[in-house]
Amino acid sequence: MQKLNLESFKKAIEISIQEKVEFVLITGDLFDSAYPPIEILESAFEQLKKLKDNKIACYLIAGSHDYSASGKTFLSVLEKAGFCKNLYNPEEIKGEIFLNPIIHKNIALYGYPGKKSGLELEELRKIKLQQAPGLFRIFALHTCLEDAIGKLPIEHIKKSELPEADYYALGHLHIDYDDGKFVYAGPTFPDNFQELEELKYGSFYLIEANENIKNKKIEIKLKEVELFEIEIENAITGTDKIIAELNKRDLSNKIVLLKVFGKLKQGKTSDIKFDIIEKFAREKQAYSVLKSTSKIDAEEAKIDLEIEETGKMEEDIISKYRETNKTKFDLFIIPLISALSMEKHEDETQLTFNNRLFSELSKIINLEVRWW
């Protein structure tokens, strides 16, 4: 799936070059963190270099994932290397924060980064855009727009609370939202099971901004998505039922989404052998298999306790549990709980405490530990 994520980004760059766009605008979360792995950086450099070689400018802002309060992120490295330009260019004037534009021909580009936990929201309500008379103003931001979140209980901002611009390029929400002037382009590749189910494909937008704004959604269809929704009541026979359903369809080179739900009357979720199910799907040439079991309702085991001393509660619970769930690991449970209850001494350094704790744990599970 990580490979598809990169391939989707490559495809978006490739189409942008084919379409001979004026520039590419990335509205945050180019990376999943401020300090991505070296192989991810290499791939990003490779793709952004293609834009530069074709004389296509690239502008970006940081998102909630690749933002850093210190400003020290690898987005700065990309900018120093000449592959892109960060649009965030603030200036304080008489106690107010103004965003200065980056000018691209007849377009004024402004940007404000996303931050962790929606911390950008209050700041967005206060900022202003420096004037750019006669230019088409694009404001890139990474946040939650009230009209776009639906019923999600998350912090958001209203359109009316944003400074006036001609077009708003939005990031953060992995949705497809286009009202002409405000656009969430969606992720270039869906990030999880739910997004694959709802969006099926990654996407981006080609924007034509002349007298009127024309937004064209481009879907990146690298693999087909095959969704299975299977109700299970008997977990013991669940594996066979799921395999029978998979066998009814062509899975070749597809992303298989397996949504298993229902109230279990027999067995428990662990009785469904997903490793065998995935092996079967692979044999049918499925590209990848993702499963969702959050909607399985299993009756919890009830343990009746008669406890005279509250200090023995843990031991009694474990003892009752072991009567019906016997494993070789049982002998480790009480000693491990005791060891993990160790407290750090007031005058003890964190390193000394860690060494003491791991030493005790290694003795319990008979594991050789080497210290560096």
Question: What's the CATH code of the domain at 134?
Answer: 3.60.21.10
Examine the pLDDT at 199 and tell me if it is beyond 50.
yes
User: Is residue 140 in some structural domain?
Assistant: yes
Number of domains in the chain: 3
Regarding whether 185 and 143 lie in a shared domain, the answer is yes
The stretch 148-165 carries a mean pLDDT of 91
**Residue 353: band (very low, low, confident or very high) from pLDDT cuts 50, 70, 90:** confident
What percent of the chain is predicted at pLDDT more than 70? Answer: 90
Regarding whether 258 and 323 lie in a shared domain, the answer is no
**47-51, 123-127, 129-133, 353-357: which range is least confident on average?**
353-357
- What's the confidence (pLDDT) of residue 336? 80
User: Is residue 174 in some structural domain?
Assistant: yes
- What's the confidence (pLDDT) of residue 181? 94
User: Is residue 256 in some structural domain?
Assistant: yes
The stretch 301-328 carries a mean pLDDT of 60
Examine the pLDDT at 305 and tell me if it is beyond 60.
no
**Residue 312: band (very low, low, confident or very high) from pLDDT cuts 50, 70, 90:** low
Dihedral angle computed from the Cα positions of residues 143, 147, 151 and 156, in that order, rounded to the nearest 10 degrees = 30
Regarding whether 229 and 116 lie in a shared domain, the answer is no
Nearest to 131 by CA among 164, 170, 160: 164
**Backbone phi, then psi, for 281, in 5-degree steps?**
-65, -40
Regarding whether 170 and 32 lie in a shared domain, the answer is yes
User: Is residue 302 in some structural domain?
Assistant: no
- Say what the pTM is: 0.77
**Backbone phi, then psi, for 295, in 5-degree steps?**
-100, 15
**70-74, 124-128, 140-144, 290-294: which range is least confident on average?**
70-74
Please report, as a single letter, which amino acid is at residue 140.
Answer: A
- What's the confidence (pLDDT) of residue 272? 95
**Residue 298: band (very low, low, confident or very high) from pLDDT cuts 50, 70, 90:** confident
Regarding whether 326 and 186 lie in a shared domain, the answer is no
**5-14, 297-306, 362-371: which range is least confident on average?**
297-306
Regarding whether 126 and 176 lie in a shared domain, the answer is yes
Regarding whether 35 and 117 lie in a shared domain, the answer is yes
Q: Which of 196, 220, 244 is the last residue of a domain?
A: 220
- What's the confidence (pLDDT) of residue 340? 82
C-alpha 26/C-alpha 113 separation (Å) is 11
User: Is residue 155 in some structural domain?
Assistant: yes
Structural contact between residues 319 and 288, judged by C-beta atoms closer than 8 angstroms:
no
C-alpha 319/C-alpha 324 separation (Å) is 9
Looking from the CA of 72 toward its CB, the CA atoms found within 13 Å total 1
Regarding whether 174 and 286 lie in a shared domain, the answer is no
Regarding whether 83 and 64 lie in a shared domain, the answer is yes
| φ/ψ bin of 329: left (φ > 0), alpha (ψ from -120 to 50), beta (otherwise) | alpha
Regarding whether 353 and 234 lie in a shared domain, the answer is no
Q: What pLDDT, in 10s, does the model give residues 251-263?
A: 999 999 999 999 9
Examine the pLDDT at 144 and tell me if it is beyond 60.
yes
How would DSSP label each residue in 262-277? Answer: EE-SBS-GGGS-HHHH
- What's the confidence (pLDDT) of residue 188? 96
Q: Which of 220, 235, 269 is the last residue of a domain?
A: 220
Q: Which residue has the tokens 């942008």?
A: 16
Regarding whether 242 and 109 lie in a shared domain, the answer is no
User: Is residue 162 in some structural domain?
Assistant: yes
- What's the confidence (pLDDT) of residue 346? 53
- What's the confidence (pLDDT) of residue 99? 97
The stretch 204-209 carries a mean pLDDT of 93
The stretch 192-220 carries a mean pLDDT of 92
Q: Which of 204, 220, 236 is the last residue of a domain?
A: 220
Higher-confidence residue of 22 and 209: namely 22
Examine the pLDDT at 294 and tell me if it is beyond 80.
yes
Regarding whether 238 and 151 lie in a shared domain, the answer is no
User: Is residue 371 in some structural domain?
Assistant: no
User: Is residue 370 in some structural domain?
Assistant: no
The stretch 175-182 carries a mean pLDDT of 92
The domain in which residue 94 lies consists of 2-220
- What's the confidence (pLDDT) of residue 301? 46
List strands edge to edge, sheet with 225-231: 225-231, 255-263, 288-297
